[in-house]
Amino acid sequence: MIWHRGISLTSLAVGLIVCGHGRAAVYEVGPGKAFSGLQEVAGLLHAGDVVKVEGGVTYRGGVTLEAGGAAGKGVISVVGMRVNGARPVLSGVMEKGEAVLRVTGSHYVIEGIDMTAGGDPKAGRCFYNVGDDVTLRDCVVHDCPFTGISGADASGSLTLERVEVYHCGHWLYGHQIYVGSGLAEYPEALFRMRYCYVHDGVGGNNVKSRVTRNEIEYNWIEGAAYHELDLVGPDPKAEKTPKGGIHCDADVVGNVLVVTDSCQGTVARLGSDGTGVSRGRYRFANNTVIVRSAGAARFGLFWLKGEVDSVGLWNNVFWSEVGPLRMVRQDAEWAPVLAGDGNWMPKETGNAPAAWKAIRGADPGFVDAAGGDYRPAAESPLIGAGCVPPDAGIMARGVPPTRDIEAGAGVRPAAREKDIGAYPASPLATPGQVR
């Protein structure tokens, strides 16, 4: 049954819920419903409303959500209701250059939607955020001919949680994920990305951010056309940088980062892409980095470019399948402060700053590196060999990364804080159990 404003008081008692100082409506979208597509509902929304979209159905994209929600209980929710396990699909656009789904209002949760250009050459982006306090959760974004997920230079905070992104990007300038933020209106904007699976890019970088604050945690990021991570400063063509500059910082914690043999870039470019500089303070902790690209191995895994304030590494493991690694390529305009401890890397690794306190070895002892299982085996030198990071805020405590965005077990226990890499060791075996 569809509930909307203008119905009787008796119906209101059943179909509307109180939310803050107003009332929230629930709208249902799908075949045989009063609303056949999101376009019909978009103009009706108010703070606290919920839209339920029936799964197993493909709907036309080109949807813009302009209404503004309110923080807390006033968030507007658009929820895909799975049918036989299938999400609803938003596909294509109406006009050239549109996004499949664009959010210009603030305080939204978009959940359980499959977004794709569906072969429509008019689609510029799959998901485009211009608002603030927007969460994309349990969604799949794929096969977009330019950028998969985009955050405008005028936007605020964006959260991606359990989102899969693949087959997006174009040449150098279209990316799988590319986010910015508005310095004037949202100086403390946060880009948070957790438990996501980003893979098989067809152009650009897997994750590119110009946001002032970034938390990239517990994701599996693999197979960028260029860089897995590109963390840089605001675009001076779109943003007026405050006098004295600005810091665009990042915590990168508990991820698996895989540079495949087709990659033309490297693990992370930090500081600048040749436009705005970040003056960033970057902290990497408990990441597992796998390199299958000979070009990346020779070039340098961390490309420091422009103005970089500091780079700290704690308890990361680096492994090469293509020969010796070069750890850093230094093109920064000033010497960043470097710090770290407990970082495992192959013996022959070059350009590794002494401040990162490398632990060198012949084999990290993964369970099955060839099969993509990078957990430490029973006798792995990664177990207990790291350090306690100097700031509890960067200590890995979340769900270990997986290529299944619906998985969610196995939080790292406090006793395993010195294990190196994204995965803690399994509990100690007892008689009759397999470790």
Helix (H) or strand (E) holding 40: helix 38-42
Distinct helix (H) and strand (E) counts, the chain: 3, 37
- In contact, 96 and 117? CB cutoff 8 Å: no
CA–CA dist 342, 328 (Å, integer)? 17
Q: What is the pLDDT of residue 427?
A: 67
Collapse the DSSP code of 348 into the 3-class scheme (helix H, G, I; strand E, B; otherwise coil) and give the result: coil
The span from the first CA to the last CA of the chain, in angstroms, equals 51
CA 416 from chain centre, in angstroms, equals 25
Nearest to 333 by CA among 282, 278, 252: 278
Q: What is the pLDDT of residue 22?
A: 58
Maximum CA pair distance of the chain? 75
CA–CA dist 183, 246 (Å, integer)? 9
Collapse the DSSP code of 272 into the 3-class scheme (helix H, G, I; strand E, B; otherwise coil) and give the result: strand
pLDDT tens over the chain, length 435 residues: 333 333 333 333 333 443 444 579 999 999 999 999 999 999 999 999 999 999 999 999 999 999 999 999 999 999 999 999 999 999 999 999 999 999 999 999 999 999 999 999 999 999 999 999 999 999 999 999 999 999 999 999 999 999 999 999 999 999 999 999 999 999 999 999 999 999 999 999 999 999 999 999 999 999 999 999 999 999 999 988 888 889 999 999 999 999 999 999 999 999 999 999 999 999 999 999 999 999 999 999 999 999 999 999 999 999 999 999 999 999 999 999 999 999 999 999 999 999 999 999 999 999 999 999 999 999 999 999 999 999 888 989 999 999 999 987 789 999 999 999 999 998 642 333 322
43-80 pLDDT, tens digit per residue, is 999 999 999 999 999 999 999 999 999 999 999 999 99
CA–CA dist 426, 435 (Å, integer)? 6
- In contact, 229 and 195? CB cutoff 8 Å: no
CA–CA dist 433, 435 (Å, integer)? 6
256-304 pLDDT, tens digit per residue, is 999 999 999 999 999 999 999 999 999 999 999 999 999 999 999 999 9
